[in-house]
Amino acid sequence: MASTGLAGIAIVLCTADVLYAFAIVEKDDVFKKTPCPAFLMFENAAYLADMSFELPCNCKPEEISSVVWYFQKNMGSQQTNVLTDFDGTLTVDSSHIKVGSDMIRRFSIRMFSLIIFRVQVEDSGHYICGTKKGDFFYGYDIDVQVSKGIAVVFTDKNQHSWRDDEKTHFMIFTIFWDWTKCNRCDVRGEQRRIGLCYVKSPYLLRRYHTTTAEVASCGSRSVPKQFWGVVQIRKPEIVIRSCMISCRGKTTSNDGEASISNIISKLGEKPWVPNIPIQFHKQTLGSGLIITCPGARPEHAIAWDKDSTRLYLTRFLIGVNKSMRVFIDHGNQLHIHFTQMNDRGIYYCWREGQMVAGFRLSVVYESRLKRSPDDPETQYAVNAILTSYILITILFVTIHMIHCCLYVFKYTAVE
Protein backbone atom coordinates (compact mmCIF):
# COMPACT_ATOMS: atom_id res chain seq x y z
CA MET A 1 0.00 0.00 0.00
CA ALA A 2 2.84 2.34 0.92
CA SER A 3 4.73 1.46 -2.25
CA THR A 4 1.64 2.30 -4.31
CA GLY A 5 1.46 5.74 -2.66
CA LEU A 6 5.15 6.37 -3.29
CA ALA A 7 4.74 5.37 -6.91
CA GLY A 8 1.85 7.83 -7.29
CA ILE A 9 3.91 10.63 -5.78
CA ALA A 10 6.79 9.83 -8.13
CA ILE A 11 4.45 9.95 -11.14
CA VAL A 12 3.11 13.35 -10.02
CA LEU A 13 6.65 14.73 -9.57
CA CYS A 14 7.75 13.43 -12.96
CA THR A 15 4.66 14.96 -14.57
CA ALA A 16 5.46 18.31 -12.92
CA ASP A 17 9.04 18.15 -14.21
CA VAL A 18 7.79 17.42 -17.73
CA LEU A 19 5.31 20.32 -17.60
CA TYR A 20 8.02 22.67 -16.30
CA ALA A 21 10.40 21.59 -19.06
CA PHE A 22 7.60 22.05 -21.60
CA ALA A 23 6.99 25.58 -20.28
CA ILE A 24 10.68 26.41 -20.63
CA VAL A 25 10.76 25.01 -24.17
CA GLU A 26 7.67 27.02 -25.08
CA LYS A 27 9.29 30.15 -23.64
CA ASP A 28 12.45 29.52 -25.64
CA ASP A 29 10.37 29.04 -28.79
CA VAL A 30 8.84 32.46 -28.29
CA PHE A 31 12.27 34.06 -28.27
CA LYS A 32 13.31 32.04 -31.33
CA LYS A 33 10.32 33.42 -33.24
CA THR A 34 10.93 37.02 -32.13
CA PRO A 35 14.33 38.24 -33.33
CA CYS A 36 15.76 41.36 -31.71
CA PRO A 37 15.83 44.45 -33.93
CA ALA A 38 19.21 45.55 -35.21
CA PHE A 39 18.46 49.08 -34.02
CA LEU A 40 16.98 49.48 -30.53
CA MET A 41 13.39 50.72 -30.75
CA PHE A 42 11.08 51.80 -27.92
CA GLU A 43 7.51 50.56 -27.63
CA ASN A 44 5.16 53.27 -26.35
CA ALA A 45 2.71 52.45 -23.53
CA ALA A 46 0.68 54.72 -21.23
CA TYR A 47 -0.70 54.10 -17.73
CA LEU A 48 -2.45 56.06 -15.01
CA ALA A 49 -0.51 56.82 -11.82
CA ASP A 50 -0.82 54.19 -9.02
CA MET A 51 -1.35 51.33 -11.47
CA SER A 52 0.70 48.12 -11.53
CA PHE A 53 1.79 46.47 -14.80
CA GLU A 54 4.25 44.07 -16.43
CA LEU A 55 6.82 44.79 -19.15
CA PRO A 56 7.86 41.58 -20.95
CA CYS A 57 11.30 41.29 -22.52
CA ASN A 58 9.93 40.41 -25.94
CA CYS A 59 13.22 39.28 -27.45
CA LYS A 60 16.65 38.05 -26.37
CA PRO A 61 19.33 35.63 -27.60
CA GLU A 62 18.77 31.97 -26.69
CA GLU A 63 21.99 31.72 -24.67
CA ILE A 64 20.93 34.50 -22.25
CA SER A 65 19.50 32.91 -19.07
CA SER A 66 18.94 36.11 -17.04
CA VAL A 67 18.32 39.74 -17.90
CA VAL A 68 18.94 43.14 -16.36
CA TRP A 69 16.50 46.02 -16.72
CA TYR A 70 17.69 49.62 -17.05
CA PHE A 71 15.73 52.81 -16.46
CA GLN A 72 16.67 56.06 -18.16
CA LYS A 73 14.58 59.19 -17.78
CA ASN A 74 15.65 60.84 -21.03
CA MET A 75 17.44 59.38 -24.01
CA GLY A 76 21.17 60.05 -23.87
CA SER A 77 21.12 60.93 -20.17
CA GLN A 78 24.17 59.78 -18.19
CA GLN A 79 21.99 58.95 -15.18
CA THR A 80 20.75 55.37 -15.51
CA ASN A 81 19.17 53.19 -12.81
CA VAL A 82 19.86 49.45 -12.83
CA LEU A 83 16.72 47.49 -11.95
CA THR A 84 17.77 43.92 -11.25
CA ASP A 85 17.92 41.20 -8.65
CA PHE A 86 20.45 39.36 -10.91
CA ASP A 87 19.11 35.88 -10.10
CA GLY A 88 15.40 36.66 -10.40
CA THR A 89 14.86 35.58 -6.80
CA LEU A 90 13.57 38.84 -5.32
CA THR A 91 10.04 38.44 -3.95
CA VAL A 92 7.85 41.52 -3.67
CA ASP A 93 4.44 41.55 -1.94
CA SER A 94 2.31 44.17 -3.71
CA SER A 95 0.20 44.69 -0.57
CA HIS A 96 3.25 46.20 1.15
CA ILE A 97 3.94 48.66 -1.66
CA LYS A 98 2.79 52.18 -0.83
CA VAL A 99 2.64 55.43 -2.77
CA GLY A 100 6.00 57.16 -2.57
CA SER A 101 7.99 53.97 -2.05
CA ASP A 102 11.47 53.96 -3.57
CA MET A 103 11.52 52.75 -7.16
CA ILE A 104 13.89 49.89 -6.36
CA ARG A 105 11.33 48.54 -3.87
CA ARG A 106 8.50 48.75 -6.37
CA PHE A 107 9.73 46.32 -9.00
CA SER A 108 10.34 42.63 -9.45
CA ILE A 109 11.70 40.47 -12.29
CA ARG A 110 9.81 37.29 -13.24
CA MET A 111 10.64 35.15 -16.30
CA PHE A 112 12.60 38.03 -17.87
CA SER A 113 9.65 40.45 -17.36
CA LEU A 114 9.80 43.61 -15.25
CA ILE A 115 6.83 44.06 -12.90
CA ILE A 116 6.30 47.57 -11.51
CA PHE A 117 3.96 48.17 -8.58
CA ARG A 118 2.06 51.44 -8.07
CA VAL A 119 3.88 53.38 -10.78
CA GLN A 120 4.31 57.13 -10.27
CA VAL A 121 4.56 60.04 -12.70
CA GLU A 122 8.29 60.38 -12.04
CA ASP A 123 8.69 56.76 -13.24
CA SER A 124 7.97 57.87 -16.82
CA GLY A 125 10.89 57.20 -19.13
CA HIS A 126 12.76 54.47 -20.99
CA TYR A 127 12.91 50.87 -19.72
CA ILE A 128 15.46 48.66 -21.48
CA CYS A 129 15.87 44.89 -21.23
CA GLY A 130 19.49 43.73 -21.53
CA THR A 131 22.42 42.16 -19.73
CA LYS A 132 24.73 43.41 -17.01
CA LYS A 133 27.47 43.65 -19.68
CA GLY A 134 25.49 46.40 -21.39
CA ASP A 135 23.86 44.51 -24.27
CA PHE A 136 20.37 45.87 -25.02
CA PHE A 137 17.55 43.76 -26.51
CA TYR A 138 14.18 45.50 -26.12
CA GLY A 139 12.98 48.91 -24.93
CA TYR A 140 9.81 50.62 -23.69
CA ASP A 141 8.76 54.25 -23.68
CA ILE A 142 6.49 54.43 -20.61
CA ASP A 143 4.22 57.42 -20.08
CA VAL A 144 2.66 57.62 -16.61
CA GLN A 145 -0.12 60.20 -16.67
CA VAL A 146 -1.04 62.12 -13.55
CA SER A 147 -4.19 61.17 -11.60
CA LYS A 148 -4.34 64.44 -9.64
CA GLY A 149 -6.72 66.92 -11.26
CA ILE A 150 -8.04 64.25 -13.62
CA ALA A 151 -11.26 65.10 -15.50
CA VAL A 152 -14.22 63.07 -14.16
CA VAL A 153 -17.34 62.60 -16.31
CA PHE A 154 -20.61 61.25 -14.89
CA THR A 155 -22.86 60.06 -17.71
CA ASP A 156 -25.88 59.90 -15.36
CA LYS A 157 -25.61 63.70 -15.07
CA ASN A 158 -25.50 64.06 -18.87
CA GLN A 159 -21.84 65.07 -18.78
CA HIS A 160 -19.66 64.42 -21.81
CA SER A 161 -16.00 63.72 -22.51
CA TRP A 162 -13.69 66.32 -23.95
CA ARG A 163 -13.70 66.84 -27.68
CA ASP A 164 -10.65 66.28 -29.85
CA ASP A 165 -8.37 69.32 -29.96
CA GLU A 166 -6.97 69.80 -33.45
CA LYS A 167 -3.92 72.04 -33.91
CA THR A 168 -1.88 73.00 -36.97
CA HIS A 169 0.67 70.15 -36.79
CA PHE A 170 -0.99 67.67 -34.41
CA MET A 171 -4.27 66.59 -32.81
CA ILE A 172 -4.86 65.82 -29.11
CA PHE A 173 -7.56 63.31 -28.17
CA THR A 174 -8.50 60.68 -25.56
CA ILE A 175 -8.30 56.90 -26.00
CA PHE A 176 -10.56 55.01 -23.58
CA TRP A 177 -9.98 51.59 -22.08
CA ASP A 178 -12.79 49.04 -21.80
CA TRP A 179 -15.43 49.47 -19.10
CA THR A 180 -14.68 47.77 -15.80
CA LYS A 181 -17.09 45.25 -14.35
CA CYS A 182 -20.04 46.53 -12.33
CA ASN A 183 -18.64 47.11 -8.83
CA ARG A 184 -21.77 45.93 -6.94
CA CYS A 185 -24.39 43.23 -7.45
CA ASP A 186 -28.15 43.10 -6.77
CA VAL A 187 -28.06 46.87 -6.09
CA ARG A 188 -27.18 49.84 -8.22
CA GLY A 189 -23.48 49.78 -8.95
CA GLU A 190 -21.05 51.83 -11.00
CA GLN A 191 -18.68 51.18 -13.88
CA ARG A 192 -15.50 53.11 -14.59
CA ARG A 193 -13.71 53.75 -17.86
CA ILE A 194 -10.23 55.27 -17.99
CA GLY A 195 -9.24 57.54 -20.85
CA LEU A 196 -5.63 58.57 -21.46
CA CYS A 197 -4.29 61.48 -23.50
CA TYR A 198 -2.86 60.75 -26.96
CA VAL A 199 -1.37 62.74 -29.84
CA LYS A 200 -1.64 62.19 -33.59
CA SER A 201 1.05 63.87 -35.68
CA PRO A 202 3.32 63.08 -38.65
CA TYR A 203 6.21 64.69 -36.75
CA LEU A 204 6.63 61.98 -34.09
CA LEU A 205 10.17 60.65 -33.70
CA ARG A 206 10.63 57.47 -35.72
CA ARG A 207 12.66 55.61 -33.12
CA TYR A 208 9.52 54.98 -31.09
CA HIS A 209 7.16 52.16 -32.03
CA THR A 210 3.44 52.77 -31.54
CA THR A 211 0.41 50.53 -32.06
CA THR A 212 -1.16 52.97 -34.51
CA ALA A 213 0.94 54.89 -37.01
CA GLU A 214 1.60 58.53 -36.10
CA VAL A 215 -0.19 58.13 -32.72
CA ALA A 216 1.56 58.22 -29.32
CA SER A 217 0.63 59.02 -25.73
CA CYS A 218 0.92 62.68 -24.72
CA GLY A 219 3.89 62.08 -22.41
CA SER A 220 5.81 59.95 -24.87
CA ARG A 221 9.39 60.95 -25.69
CA SER A 222 8.43 60.58 -29.34
CA VAL A 223 6.43 63.82 -29.12
CA PRO A 224 8.63 66.78 -30.22
CA LYS A 225 9.50 69.19 -27.41
CA GLN A 226 7.85 72.04 -29.34
CA PHE A 227 4.47 70.40 -28.69
CA TRP A 228 4.91 69.70 -24.96
CA GLY A 229 3.61 73.03 -23.67
CA VAL A 230 0.23 72.55 -25.35
CA VAL A 231 -0.04 68.76 -25.08
CA GLN A 232 0.58 68.49 -21.33
CA ILE A 233 -2.32 70.81 -20.52
CA ARG A 234 -4.82 68.07 -21.34
CA LYS A 235 -5.51 65.69 -18.45
CA PRO A 236 -6.65 62.04 -18.49
CA GLU A 237 -10.35 61.33 -18.10
CA ILE A 238 -12.49 58.92 -16.08
CA VAL A 239 -16.06 58.20 -17.17
CA ILE A 240 -18.47 56.73 -14.60
CA ARG A 241 -21.93 55.31 -15.24
CA SER A 242 -24.57 53.33 -13.33
CA CYS A 243 -25.00 49.58 -13.83
CA MET A 244 -26.87 46.60 -12.40
CA ILE A 245 -25.90 42.93 -12.26
CA SER A 246 -27.12 39.94 -10.30
CA CYS A 247 -24.97 38.38 -7.59
CA ARG A 248 -25.83 35.02 -9.15
CA GLY A 249 -24.28 35.92 -12.49
CA LYS A 250 -27.36 37.05 -14.44
CA THR A 251 -27.22 40.56 -15.83
CA THR A 252 -30.31 42.70 -16.24
CA SER A 253 -29.10 43.90 -19.66
CA ASN A 254 -26.61 42.90 -22.33
CA ASP A 255 -23.93 45.46 -21.46
CA GLY A 256 -24.26 45.48 -17.67
CA GLU A 257 -26.35 48.65 -17.60
CA ALA A 258 -29.92 48.74 -16.30
CA SER A 259 -32.74 51.07 -17.09
CA ILE A 260 -33.54 53.78 -14.55
CA SER A 261 -36.82 52.09 -13.64
CA ASN A 262 -35.04 48.80 -12.85
CA ILE A 263 -32.45 50.59 -10.75
CA ILE A 264 -35.06 52.48 -8.73
CA SER A 265 -37.10 49.32 -8.15
CA LYS A 266 -34.01 47.53 -6.82
CA LEU A 267 -32.95 50.28 -4.40
CA GLY A 268 -35.47 49.28 -1.76
CA GLU A 269 -34.56 45.61 -1.80
CA LYS A 270 -32.26 44.06 0.78
CA PRO A 271 -28.93 43.24 -0.91
CA TRP A 272 -27.54 39.75 -0.94
CA VAL A 273 -24.66 39.77 1.55
CA PRO A 274 -22.11 36.92 1.33
CA ASN A 275 -20.36 35.40 4.27
CA ILE A 276 -17.33 37.69 4.41
CA PRO A 277 -14.52 38.16 6.95
CA ILE A 278 -14.78 41.18 9.25
CA GLN A 279 -11.65 42.96 10.48
CA PHE A 280 -11.69 45.07 13.64
CA HIS A 281 -9.82 48.35 13.82
CA LYS A 282 -9.55 50.94 16.58
CA GLN A 283 -8.80 54.51 15.52
CA THR A 284 -7.93 57.55 17.62
CA LEU A 285 -10.29 60.52 17.41
CA GLY A 286 -8.92 63.21 15.07
CA SER A 287 -6.38 60.98 13.33
CA GLY A 288 -6.32 59.97 9.66
CA LEU A 289 -7.15 56.57 8.21
CA ILE A 290 -6.72 54.90 4.79
CA ILE A 291 -8.52 51.61 4.10
CA THR A 292 -7.51 49.34 1.21
CA CYS A 293 -9.71 46.57 -0.17
CA PRO A 294 -7.92 43.19 0.19
CA GLY A 295 -6.55 41.88 -3.09
CA ALA A 296 -7.56 45.02 -4.99
CA ARG A 297 -5.53 46.68 -7.70
CA PRO A 298 -6.05 50.22 -9.04
CA GLU A 299 -7.56 48.90 -12.28
CA HIS A 300 -10.17 46.76 -10.47
CA ALA A 301 -13.84 47.72 -10.04
CA ILE A 302 -14.03 48.58 -6.33
CA ALA A 303 -16.91 49.94 -4.27
CA TRP A 304 -17.31 50.98 -0.62
CA ASP A 305 -20.33 51.00 1.70
CA LYS A 306 -20.71 52.19 5.28
CA ASP A 307 -23.32 50.08 7.09
CA SER A 308 -26.38 50.48 4.84
CA THR A 309 -25.11 53.68 3.14
CA ARG A 310 -23.54 53.33 -0.29
CA LEU A 311 -20.51 55.53 -0.90
CA TYR A 312 -21.10 56.20 -4.59
CA LEU A 313 -18.35 57.76 -6.66
CA THR A 314 -20.71 60.52 -7.79
CA ARG A 315 -20.40 61.94 -4.25
CA PHE A 316 -17.25 60.46 -2.74
CA LEU A 317 -14.71 60.34 -5.58
CA ILE A 318 -11.72 62.58 -4.85
CA GLY A 319 -12.04 65.94 -6.53
CA VAL A 320 -15.86 65.96 -6.75
CA ASN A 321 -15.97 68.56 -3.97
CA LYS A 322 -13.24 71.05 -3.10
CA SER A 323 -13.05 70.04 0.57
CA MET A 324 -13.70 66.38 1.32
CA ARG A 325 -13.05 64.72 4.67
CA VAL A 326 -14.12 61.27 3.46
CA PHE A 327 -13.29 60.32 -0.12
CA ILE A 328 -12.20 57.51 -2.47
CA ASP A 329 -9.00 58.07 -4.44
CA HIS A 330 -8.27 56.91 -8.00
CA GLY A 331 -6.44 53.89 -6.54
CA ASN A 332 -9.77 52.76 -4.96
CA GLN A 333 -8.61 53.43 -1.40
CA LEU A 334 -11.01 54.92 1.16
CA HIS A 335 -9.63 57.96 3.03
CA ILE A 336 -10.97 59.41 6.29
CA HIS A 337 -9.36 62.67 7.45
CA PHE A 338 -9.74 63.75 11.09
CA THR A 339 -11.71 60.73 12.28
CA GLN A 340 -14.94 61.64 14.10
CA MET A 341 -17.23 59.66 16.39
CA ASN A 342 -19.88 59.32 13.70
CA ASP A 343 -17.33 57.48 11.51
CA ARG A 344 -17.88 54.38 13.65
CA GLY A 345 -19.47 51.45 11.84
CA ILE A 346 -18.77 48.65 9.39
CA TYR A 347 -17.20 49.55 6.03
CA TYR A 348 -17.89 46.96 3.35
CA CYS A 349 -15.61 46.46 0.35
CA TRP A 350 -16.82 45.21 -3.05
CA ARG A 351 -14.32 43.87 -5.59
CA GLU A 352 -15.27 43.08 -9.20
CA GLY A 353 -18.97 42.99 -8.27
CA GLN A 354 -18.67 40.80 -5.16
CA MET A 355 -18.58 41.85 -1.51
CA VAL A 356 -15.27 40.50 -0.16
CA ALA A 357 -14.48 42.08 3.21
CA GLY A 358 -15.72 44.25 6.04
CA PHE A 359 -13.92 46.61 8.44
CA ARG A 360 -15.52 47.35 11.81
CA LEU A 361 -14.17 50.75 12.85
CA SER A 362 -14.31 51.98 16.43
CA VAL A 363 -13.19 55.49 17.37
CA VAL A 364 -11.63 56.18 20.76
CA TYR A 365 -10.66 59.41 22.48
CA GLU A 366 -7.14 59.90 23.83
CA SER A 367 -6.49 63.09 25.79
CA ARG A 368 -2.71 62.92 25.31
CA LEU A 369 -2.18 62.36 21.65
CA LYS A 370 1.42 62.88 20.57
CA ARG A 371 2.02 63.83 16.95
CA SER A 372 5.21 64.19 14.99
CA PRO A 373 5.91 66.98 12.46
CA ASP A 374 5.94 64.35 9.69
CA ASP A 375 2.40 63.21 10.52
CA PRO A 376 0.11 63.98 7.50
CA GLU A 377 -2.65 65.23 9.80
CA THR A 378 -0.20 67.59 11.55
CA GLN A 379 1.01 68.92 8.21
CA TYR A 380 -2.59 69.37 7.05
CA ALA A 381 -3.45 71.33 10.21
CA VAL A 382 -0.31 73.49 9.96
CA ASN A 383 -1.01 74.27 6.30
CA ALA A 384 -4.61 75.19 7.11
CA ILE A 385 -3.50 77.51 9.94
CA LEU A 386 -0.80 79.17 7.80
CA THR A 387 -3.23 79.64 4.91
CA SER A 388 -5.81 81.23 7.22
CA TYR A 389 -3.17 83.49 8.75
CA ILE A 390 -1.96 84.65 5.32
CA LEU A 391 -5.52 85.35 4.14
CA ILE A 392 -6.32 87.32 7.29
CA THR A 393 -3.07 89.31 6.94
CA ILE A 394 -3.82 90.12 3.30
CA LEU A 395 -7.35 91.21 4.23
CA PHE A 396 -6.03 93.35 7.11
CA VAL A 397 -3.45 95.08 4.91
CA THR A 398 -5.98 95.62 2.11
CA ILE A 399 -8.50 97.26 4.46
CA HIS A 400 -5.86 99.60 5.87
CA MET A 401 -4.61 100.53 2.39
CA ILE A 402 -8.15 101.34 1.28
CA HIS A 403 -8.66 103.38 4.45
CA CYS A 404 -5.43 105.31 3.86
CA CYS A 405 -6.31 105.96 0.21
CA LEU A 406 -9.73 107.28 1.18
CA TYR A 407 -8.16 109.50 3.85
CA VAL A 408 -5.60 110.93 1.40
CA PHE A 409 -8.30 111.50 -1.24
CA LYS A 410 -10.53 113.26 1.28
CA TYR A 411 -7.64 115.44 2.57
CA THR A 412 -6.65 116.39 -1.00
CA ALA A 413 -10.25 117.28 -1.91
CA VAL A 414 -10.58 119.61 1.12
CA GLU A 415 -7.45 121.56 0.17
pLDDT in tens, 110-135: 778 888 887 889 899 999 998 878 78
The mean pLDDT of 348-376, rounded to a whole number, is 80
Domains 42-145 and 273-364 share a fold: yes
Residues 279-318 pLDDT 10s: 999 999 988 899 989 888 777 899 999 998 999 999 999 8
Number of neighbouring beta carbons within 10 Å of residue 187: 20
pLDDT of the residue at 264:
42
pLDDT of the residue at 254:
41
Residue 356 and residue 365: Cα distance in Å, rounded? 30
Q: Which of 117-121, 151-155, 366-370 has the lowest mean pLDDT?
A: 366-370
Q: Note whether 138 and 126 are within 8 A (CB).
A: no
Residue 180 and residue 188: Cα distance in Å, rounded? 15
pLDDT of the residue at 32:
52
* Selection from 303, 271, 288 nearest residue 361 by Cα: 288
393 — phi, psi (to 5°)? -65, -45
Please give the sequence-ordered ranges of beta strands (E in DSSP) within 93-205, or none if there are none: 107-110, 113-116, 125-130, 136-145, 151-154, 165-166, 171-176, 189-200
pLDDT band at 149 (very low <50, low <70, confident <90, very high): confident
Q: Supply the CATH classification number for the domain 273-364.
A: 2.60.40.10
Q: Note whether 128 and 136 are within 8 A (CB).
A: yes
pLDDT of the residue at 180:
92
From residue 78, how far is each of 104, 107, 220, 225 by CA, in Å?
19, 22, 20, 20
200 — phi, psi (to 5°)? -120, 120
Residue 61 and residue 322: Cα distance in Å, rounded? 54
Please give the sequence-ordered ranges of beta strands (E in DSSP) within 259-308, or none if there are none: 278-284, 289-291, 302-306
Residue 349 and residue 333: Cα distance in Å, rounded? 10
Residue 91 and residue 81: Cα distance in Å, rounded? 19
Residues 218, 220, 224, 229, Cα dihedral to 10°: 40
Q: Note whether 313 and 149 are within 8 A (CB).
A: no
* % of the chain with per-residue pLDDT over 70: 75
Residue 109 and residue 69: Cα distance in Å, rounded? 9
Residues 2-12 pLDDT 10s: 444 434 434 33
More confident residue, 415 or 363: 363
Q: Characterize 57-81 residue by residue with b for buried, 16 or more Cβ atoms within 10 angstroms of its Cβ, and e for exposed.
A: bbbbeeeeeebbbbbbeeeeeeeee
Task: Name the H helices within 271-375.
Answer: 313-316
| Domain 42-145 in this protein, CATH class | mainly beta
Residues 25-58 pLDDT 10s: 444 444 455 567 677 889 999 999 888 888 998 8
SS3 119: coil
- Rg, C-alpha atoms of the chain: 27
pLDDT of the residue at 274:
54
Query: Considering the chain, what is the average pLDDT of its residues?
Result: 78
Residue 348 and residue 357: Cα distance in Å, rounded? 6
Every domain of the chain and the residues it spans? 42-145, 151-243, 273-364, 378-415
pTM exceeds 0.75 for this model: no
DSSP single-letter state for residue 35: P
Residue 137 and residue 59: Cα distance in Å, rounded? 6
